[in-house]
Amino acid sequence: MEDFADKGLQVVVGLAIFAAIIGLIMLVVDRAPKSGREKLQVAGFLAPALILLAVGLVFPALQTSYLSFTDRNGEFVGLDNFVWMFTQPEALVTLRNTLIWVVLVPLLASSIGLAYAVFIDRARGEKALKALVFMPMAISFVGAGVIWRFVYAYKGAEQDQIGLLNQILVWLGQEPKQFLLDAPENTFFLIAVMIWIQTGFAMVVLSAAIKGIPTEIVEAARLDGASAWQQFRNVTIPTIRGSLIVVITTITIGTLKVFDIVRTMTAGQYETSVVANEMYTQAFRAGEPGRGAALALVLFLMVLPVVVYNARLLRKQKEIR
Amino acid sequence: MSTVPLHNDKELLPDVKDDATAGTPTMQKRVRQRLTSRGATAAAIIIAVIWTVPTFGLLISSFRPEDNIKGNGWWNAILDRQFTLENYADVLSPGGSQSPNLLSYFVNSLAIVIPGTVFTLVLGAMAAYMFAWGRFRGKDGLFIFVFALQIVPLQMALIPLLQLFTQVLKFGEFQLLPSGTYAQLWVAHTIFGLPLAIFLLHNFIAEIPGEVIEAARVDGAGHSTIFWRIIVPLATPALASFGIFQFLWLWNDLLVALVFSGGGADVAPITQRLAEIQGSRGGEWQRLTAGAFVSIIVPLAVFFGLQRYFVRGLLAGGLKG
């Protein structure tokens, strides 16, 4: 209990120091002499955020870029880390896996989310049905990792199975399987977890977009005798195209950076590592900050085009509106 | 990271009763028949089941006695009907060094997340206000730069930021952000949350009618008065939406915690502890199931309690980039 009092005190002190800093800033900008007041006020409001961003994000990102050209002793080694990444088998597996992740997760999560959104649109109990699929969004990747490791749990064929998936295999007359150990298919079982989490996001956003389709368009299509599938293909998809792209790009970015699922379920062993996990392993476990930094840089370069595309699309949408 | 047109809540989560009374009843019925054919309903039910059963299995298991969890599948609980709270007592209690001691880590999570969210909200809102209503040269360029910082994956910043905290911000014995306390995590989370916070809050604060702010200015109010008396109250919905998201992200975070917490019961959050238990005692399902549920109970409560804000925030801002 004493321990908790200690922790509570830390939080109170932390909040108090923060409040004091903010209070001081407000006091200073209010009491400033008339002449330079506007400038000082602008500075006072912006400085805390901008200083933190400069010191904590901009400068470190530049430093990481430099680090990626050094070895474990901090010596400049040119492109060695990148050569390592693109030639060594264990690093290549990481890149291959990341590629599989980034193709499958956005595609399947968006498709399933869209299908579900269409199926339950205007159905009885739509709200509850949505909440069921949406719920995994709130669960941490670590928690999802436990949930799915339990689904994949393995016991020898002579024992009772405790994992649902292996029990289903047994019911179907198959041998139980080590889902997370056998490469290369184990990567797909990790990917399933990410799809499970992201589908809810896709579903909610796309469902909102579907509800935004003007009823006249739907009516017109129906009067023309369009079947449900034709309506879906020729009316729904084109109308919600913008939202669909936003969903896919957002999930793509999240997938590129996926770390926790791999970390907690296999720790990247058995050929399941991805770039974000390998970055952590190299930099903070293997004592190779140079390699870790190089991986972080590659991650940045992979995310960059997706974000730029997304931002340009958004601007175009704003102009239309 | 992305913006989707904002719909009001009614459109988003339509009330079934509203639907039935709106429009001509026969028309509504026909629409419903068309769109929810048998096949679609079946597919929707299958998806809903797959998305729910894993979590449900975890919940059931967490209440089963250890021997039962390890001996047979959770679906057998329907027959044996043996339930206990022992697993929860075990994972929460302090016990020896072998014990999960989750209550302590649970408190850590709260102690990290609450200040982390408050700091990000206050600093983000202050900066957002200046970007929306301040008058200074280079405003747009600076804002675009901050917006663009969302591209930088936090992996890019980890290595240098850790060095900064432990080596640079150290003056003799005095460490500005002492190791073994929450301070490093607060600051790191705040930095990583700021670009999105500033961007989203700016979008909202910029929409506040200019006359309100102009009137206050004419009355002689300075920026600090306008900010606290007018902007903050009017921006409460946006602050709440983003605050919920920031809260969930921080609660579910693993990567930042692994790098900055040191890992002891003094500082590390519950996700980190759960990942540890998974790694070292992966077969202790009685602890893992109960532990996982303790860790996801807060996000689930937030999700179900504040679903409306949650969905609204999601549609306004998408996911963290």
B282 contacts in A (CB within 8 Å)? 149
pLDDT of residue B1: 39
Amino acid letter for position A49: A
In a domain, A76, yes or no: no
Arithmetic mean of pLDDT, B209-225:
86
Cβ(A275)–Cβ(A98) under 8 Å?
yes
* Gap from A160 CA to chain B (nearest CA, Å): 5
Name the helix (H) or strand (E) containing A70.
none
Does the structure show a pLDDT above 90 at B121? yes
* Gap from B28 CA to chain A (nearest CA, Å): 9
DSSP state at residue A137? G
How far is it, in rounded angstroms, from Cα A242 to Cα A304? 20
Q: Say whether A281 sits in a helix, a strand or coil.
A: helix
A230 and A106: one domain?
yes
For the packed helices A89-120 and A80-87, what is the interaxial angle rounded to 10 degrees? 70
Residues 6+ apart with CB under 8 A from A208: A243, B4, B7, B11, B12, B315
Q: Cis omega before residue A89 (within 30°)? A: no
- Selected residue of A27, A46, A215, A284 to mutate for chain B interface (largest B Cβ count, 10 A): A46
A103 and A43: one domain?
no
Of A110-119, B182-191, B273-282, the range with the lowest mean pLDDT is: B273-282
CATH number, domain of A92, equals 1.10.3720.10
Structure tokens at A161: 């199975």
A140 and A3: one domain?
no
Percentage, residues of chain B above pLDDT 70? 83
Query: Among B4, B75, B299, whose Cβ lies nearest the Cβ of A140?
Result: B299
Does the structure show a pLDDT above 80 at B2? no
Q: Sign of dihedral through CA atoms B32, B37, B40, B42?
A: positive
How far is it, in rounded angstroms, from Cα A288 to Cα A73? 9
Phi, psi of B170 (to 5 degrees): -130, 125
- The total domain count for chain A is 2
Shortest CA distance from B8: residue in chain A: A208
Q: Sign of dihedral through CA atoms A301, A305, A311, A314?
A: negative
Cβ(B47)–Cβ(A116) under 8 Å?
yes
The CB density around residue A83, as the number of other CB atoms within 10 Å, is 13
| Secondary-structure class of domain B102-317 per CATH | mainly alpha
List beta partners, residue A76: A70
A100 and A57: one domain?
no
Amino acid letter for position B261: S
Report CB contact under 8 Å: A122, B44: no
Does the structure show a pLDDT above 50 at B3? no
Arithmetic mean of pLDDT, B246-273:
87
A68, A92, A124 - which closes a domain: A68
How far is it, in rounded angstroms, from Cα B139 to Cα B129? 12
Phi, psi of A70 (to 5 degrees): -120, 165
A100 and A164: one domain?
yes
In a domain, A75, yes or no: no
Q: Per-residue confidence at B97, pLDDT binned at 50, 70, 90?
A: low
B218 burial level (CB within 10 Å; 0-12, 13-18, 19+) = exposed
Q: Which of residues 18-37 of B touch A (CB under 8 A)?
A: 19, 31-32, 34-37
In a domain, A184, yes or no: yes
pLDDT of residue A100: 92
Q: Which of residues 162-181 of B touch A (CB under 8 A)?
A: 164, 181
Select from A73, A114, A85, A30 the least CA-distant residue to A289: A73
Query: Among B118, B271, B318, whose Cβ lies nearest the Cβ of A250?
Result: B318
- Selected residue of A3, A26, A57, A310 to mutate for chain B interface (largest B Cβ count, 10 A): A57
Q: Per-residue confidence at B19, pLDDT binned at 50, 70, 90?
A: very low
Q: Per-residue confidence at B281, pLDDT binned at 50, 70, 90?
A: low
Q: Which of residues 68-107 of A touch B (CB under 8 A)?
A: none
Arithmetic mean of pLDDT, B83-111:
82
Select from A198, A205, A178 the least CA-distant residue to A102: A198
Domain ranges for chain B: 32-83, 102-317
Cβ(B55)–Cβ(A134) under 8 Å?
no
Report how far apart the first and last C-alpha atoms of chain A are (Å, whole number). Answer: 57
What ipTM was estimated for this complex?
0.84
B282 inside 8 A of chain A by CB: yes
Residues of chain A with pLDDT under 50: none
How far is it, in rounded angstroms, from Cα A314 to Cα A294? 30
Phi, psi of B171 (to 5 degrees): -120, 95
Select from B191, B115, B203 the least CA-distant residue to B158: B191
Give me the helices (H) in A68-214, please: 80-87, 89-120, 126-134, 141-152, 164-171, 186-211
How far is it, in rounded angstroms, from Cα B44 to Cα A126? 11
Structure tokens at B297: 């109970």
Q: Per-residue confidence at B31, pLDDT binned at 50, 70, 90?
A: low
Range of the structural domain that residue A39 is part of: 1-68
A38-78 per-position pLDDT tens digit = 788 888 999 999 999 999 899 998 888 888 888 887 778 88
pLDDT of residue B282: 63
Exposure letters B73-102 (e unless 16+ CB within 10 A, then b):
bbebbeeeeeeeeebbebbbeeeeeeebbb
Does the structure show a pLDDT above 60 at B17? no
Mean pLDDT across chain B, nearest whole number? Answer: 80
How far is it, in rounded angstroms, from Cα B52 to Cα A136? 9
A128 inside 8 A of chain B by CB: no
A216 and A193: one domain?
yes
Percentage, residues of chain B above pLDDT 90? 16
In a domain, A74, yes or no: no
Q: Say whether B174 sits in a helix, a strand or coil.
A: strand
A105 and A41: one domain?
no
A143 and A9: one domain?
no
Q: Per-residue confidence at B27, pLDDT binned at 50, 70, 90?
A: low
A61 and A124: one domain?
no
pLDDT of residue A314: 67
A61 and A175: one domain?
no
Q: Say whether A213 sits in a helix, a strand or coil.
A: coil
Q: Per-residue confidence at B28, pLDDT binned at 50, 70, 90?
A: low
Amino acid letter for position A229: W
Q: Sign of dihedral through CA atoms B170, B173, B176, B180?
A: positive
A160 and A90: one domain?
yes
A104 and A136: one domain?
yes
Cβ(B112)–Cβ(B250) under 8 Å?
yes
In a domain, A149, yes or no: yes
